[in-house]
Each structure stands twice: as C-alpha cells, then as structure tokens.
A and B are shown apart, each in its own frame.
Chain A
C-alpha cells in the first residue's frame, strides 16, 4: 500500500517536472523580450504554405496564453516545429540524432560503471595499500580533467590510427552489413573511451566509499567469523549492500553523462543529439534548440524516475 503510494508520488513528480520543462521552454523562447520571439515560422526558404501551416498550428497571431495552450497540444502530439537547417520536422531530426547517440552513450556509461565498480571494490578491499593510493589518485586526476581536453588529447594521440570523426566511413560503400557494423564500432572507440574515462573516476570514488562503509558493518564480521570465502564475502555480502549508493550514483551522474556526451559529440563529430544541439546553437536554429532541450530533459527525467523506482525496490524502507 505504502509502496504503491511512493511509486505514484515519484511518477507524479516526474510528470510535473516535464510540465515545468515545457513551460520553461515556452517562456524562454516566446515570452522573454529580445529573444527569438515566435520565430518558429521563420524557416528560411520555406514555402508560404509551410509558413501558413506553422502560424496556424502554433497560433502565432493569437495572444500568448492561447499560444501556450496550442504549444502544449502540438508538443504532446510530437509536433516541435520545423528545423531551420534542413526544413525537416524537428521531431524526426531528434529521433535520428538520439538513435545515433544511444549506442555510444550506453556503451560509455556501462564501461564506466564496470571499470568504476571494479576499481572501487579493489581499492576498498585493499584499503591503504599502494594499489588503493594509485587507483584513487588516478581517479581524482581523471575527475579533474575537462572532458573536451581529454577528448582532444586522445584525438592527437591516436590520429591516423583510429578513425577520429563521424560514425562511419563515408567512402566504404558496398560492404556487407557486418563490415558497416565493424566500421561503426571502430569509430566508436575514441568517443566511448573519452566518455568512460570522464565518468569512471566518479564511480570509482563512490564505490570505494560505499564499500568501505559496508565492509565495516557487523554482519561482515559475522560472515568472516563463520568462514565465508573471501570472494563470496565481497560479492554477496559487501557489494550487494553497497548497491544502494551505486544506484543513486548512476542517477546523479545523468547530468554529467549529458554534458560529457555533448562535448564528446562535438569533438568527434558524432552525429548525435549533443552535436545537433551544438549546430542548432551555431546556426541559430531555434526550433531544433527548443526540441533538443525538451527531448534531453524528458529522457533525463525518465531515467531519474527509473532510478527512484529501482532504489525503492532495493530498499523498500525509502518511501518519501
């Protein structure tokens, strides 16, 4: 009973946050003076028919409150306007960009988690040893490097050895699907490495503290006393109980993941959502900018909700 109440509360919070983001979007782009007010219909080289359609859809000749309602309605139906740059619906552009971003970011995040957990556990188990000091110091170092700096260094170091830009080789036409896939994997190495390196450090430090905390608990002593083997003690007794902060950690690093992937996509010309946002800024493509902000925000809010629900599942005592 209490559990379902918690779930609904979190879902409600997520929905309201999306609504706040929607409103923020509207205010930023239409209401603020001096901003690109209602430029949504000013698509360059657009046919008069398209302009008329946009003006009608978003009610650009109507008062603000009516525009707001129309904007909400259109957004909920997936109509985010038309991109200035390629005159395609923003929604379609975003879907394409997200499809390109997801494999890169997912791989980078998973890699960062695996390395982070491994490094953190080793550090905590061998607390105070040379390995612990080395690993912690390296982590703090990677922590402190700006993402774009790390990316550029990798670019220079691996220039000519690994593909440096884009998602695939534009001249490799005619290969099989498998070749194309391998080509994409090769292009992914540098961006994924950069993302993993910038994210892993934080994970390693958090896992280390969480593990140290659980390793000091009485039940670990009990387990040791009754002769649980070392590997099982670490995996089943300590790490399992350290999972809670690790879930929080993933949820909280969402912001860092978004920031990192934007910078990385710009550096490695990866045609994903971050690069789309960047080009939208450069070309003053306001509909794309609005759409990109909204899309990223909704994705982050959704993942945050998942993290909350997983957290609740892991520890049902949490019911705030």
Chain B
C-alpha cells in the first residue's frame, strides 16, 4: 500500500459525483439533449414496433425490390417484404443485443476494475495483465473465431461481444477507484473499522456509478457496431432480424447489383443515427463528470479512453 498523505485530494482527477449534478449537466448541454432524444425515440419505436409496423414481415406484400412509394415508404426487399416494417422489427433485436452484450461487458469490466483498483497488490497486477492481453488481441477477429467455432446464434453473438468488450471499462474504473481509495473519507471509514464490502458498496460504487452510466451508453454503440459486423460475416442467427442481418441479407441477395439501395439504406442509417445519439449522450455525461476528460480522446470504433498521461498500467 502506498502511503500518500491523507487529506490531499489526488490532483489528477477532479470529479463531480452524484446523479443529480450529472443530470443537471446533461440537461444544460444541447448535444446531450439531442442524444437523449434520439435514444429515447429509438427505444420507444422498438417498444411499439409490432403495433405500428404497416405490414407483416412474414409474407410478401409487394413486388421484389419494389422501389419506395407511398404504400411502402422504404420499398421492399428481395422477398417482397416491406423494408420499413423490417427495420422497425430489426431495431428491437439489435437494441436488445446491444444492451445485453453491454451489460455483460460493463458487469465484468466494473468487477475487474473495482477489485483491481481497490485491493491493488498482486490481484491488481494479475487482472491488469489479463486486461492488457485482451486489449492488444484484435477483438473482432477473436469474436469471429469464437462465433465460428461455437456456431451462429444470437445468444452466442451476445455472449461473445460481451465477454470480449470489457477491457476498456476495467481500465477506466480501476483508475477511478484507485484515486477514490486514497480519499480522506475512505481512509477514515476504513479506520473506523468498516469492512471492505461495506466500503465498496457504500462509498466506491456510488462514486463510480455516473461514470459507469456514461460508459454503458458509449459501449452500446460498439456492441451494435460489432453485432452488425458479425452479422455481416454470417455469424449471427440467419433467421433473426436485426439491422445487421438486414444489411447482410440485402448484400447476399444482390441488392447492390440490382441498385436496390432502399434495401440497405434504412437499416444503415438507423444504426448510424442511434450510434450518433448514444455517442453524443455518453460523451456529454462524461464531459459533465470530469472536466479533464474534455480533452481526452474518445474512440468510437475501439471505444477506449485514450490515456492523457503515459501508457501502460499508470496511464490516466
């Protein structure tokens, strides 16, 4: 255990905590509001999809690759199925896949980060080593290999994405917990004889909570990206309708050479808009939480917080 002088808050991270300040910050940023609006819009649309979809997705309702018209807003795909209804339905499963995979990833990442940052010592060394290995190994390739060996299925895709996406969360949470651990009040609670479990549950987790929320929102974008990529490579359940499989199906059935852009564009744009919404929302929360992170570099595709200082285990 390092003996830092208690009483000096760690200078490198000035973080405003708590959900209310977070919410206040969010409400004051136009980007955050726009992001929130987009995410809510998609969520509502996914919830009421079966009620508002104009046509059934199980049988042909128009001609093959019929272009968009007033009857069929987004045209029809190769089987004469209404693309608008397909995209509505696809959003449901895509968002469920994204959210579930993200929850798995955040769960693992938060656990590893808290354990590593709180207890330090050999546990920290071991966990961070493992994290480092997984950070370097190209995730999408490993996902492809595992999904291929395991067999194409929606639940496999969820688990594969979730299990391989946790590394950056672990890194971020560890850095936070490490600095929290040195705070005066944590030291005092410890001196008063509180158990580790008590300190973690009552004092550490509430403090990293808002950061975890920001992370979850950002991670969903990566999970949805990965789902579309895996689906495009034919590793998702071929019968499930997601934005990824809609695009894969259209590509497979020569929508490109038929010039039937309407079979591809709605799903692609839906992914892009949802991802932009999550990105704006997540980044605004993060900015509100931590002024220092405003100058940090958020990568969407890799979804990593770029270190501001240093590399390796001491990177902040």
Chain A residues with CB under 8 Å of chain B are 13, 16-17, 20-21, 24-25, 28-29, 32, 35-36, 140-141, 143-149, 152-153, 155-156, 159, 198, 202, 205-206, 209-210, 212-213, 245, 248-249, 252-256, 258-260, 262-263, 266-267, 277-278, 280-282, 284, 286, 289-290, 292-293, 296-297, 300-301, 304, 308, 311, 318, 320
Contact = CB atoms under 8 A, between A and B. Distances in A.
A301 B307 CA distance: 19
B272 A145 contact: yes
A258 B138 contact: yes
Contacts of A13: 132
Contacts of B264: 149, 152-153, 156
Contacts of A263: 229, 232-233
A148 B229 contact: yes
What secondary structure prevails in chain B residues at the interface with A? helix
A148 B297 contact: no
B234 A281 contact: yes
Interface residues of B, number: 58
B74 interface: no
Given A252-B302, A262-B140, A156 B261 contact: yes
B13 to A, nearest CB: 17
Contact of B137 (A20, A29, A212, A262): A20
Contacts of A24: 137, 142
By Cβ-Cβ distance, the 3 closest A-B pairs, closest first, are A149-B268, A320-B312, A256-B301
Given A17-B137, A297-B141, A146 B268 contact: yes
B297 A245 contact: yes
Given A28-B146, A146-B271, A281-B233, 10 more contacts: A24-B142, A143-B279, A148-B228, A149-B247, A245-B306, A248-B306, A259-B229, A289-B145, A301-B137, A318-B311
Contact of A318 (B136, B275, B306, B310): B310
A252 B304 contact: yes
From A206, A213, A255, name the one whose CB has the most chain B CB atoms within 10 angstroms.
A255
A141 B301 contact: no
Nearest to B151: A34
B306 A206 contact: yes
Nearest to A201: B300
Contacts of B133: 16-17, 20
A144 B273 contact: yes
A20 B149 CA distance: 19
Contact of A255 (B139, B268, B315): B139
B257 A159 contact: yes
Contact of A277 (B144, B250, B267, B307): B144
B145 A293 contact: yes
B222 to A, nearest CB: 10
Nearest to B224: A146
Nearest to B267: A149
28 contacts: A16-B133, A24-B137, A28-B149, A36-B149, A140-B276, A143-B276, A143-B279, A146-B228, A148-B247, A152-B247, A159-B256, A206-B299, A206-B306, A248-B297, A248-B307, A249-B299, A252-B299, A252-B306, A253-B302, A258-B141, A262-B229, A263-B233, A266-B232, A277-B144, A278-B234, A293-B141, A311-B311, A320-B311
Contact of B299 (A253, A311, A318): A253
A126 to B, nearest CB: 18
Contacts of B251: 148, 152, 267
B265 A153 contact: yes
Given A152-B264, A300-B138, A209 B297 contact: yes
B271 A254 contact: no
A266 B137 contact: no
A156 B256 contact: yes
Interface string B63-102: 0000000000000000000000000000000000000000
Contacts of B296: 209
B314 interface: yes
A155 B146 CA distance: 30
A149 B297 contact: no
A281 B148 contact: yes
B295 interface: yes
A248 to B, nearest CB: 6
Contacts of A28: 145-146, 149
A260 B298 CA distance: 18
A148 B140 contact: no
B110 to A, nearest CB: 22
A147 B296 CA distance: 25
A224 B83 CA distance: 58
Contacts of A280: 148
Contacts of B311: 248, 308, 311, 318, 320
A165 B225 CA distance: 24
A140 B279 contact: yes
Contacts of A205: 297-298
A206 B272 contact: no
A45 to B, nearest CB: 22
Contact of B140 (A149, A245, A258, A284): A258
Interface string B261-297: 1001101100111011001000000000000000111
Contacts of B295: 209, 212-213
A119 B109 CA distance: 34
B114 interface: no
Contacts of A210: 297
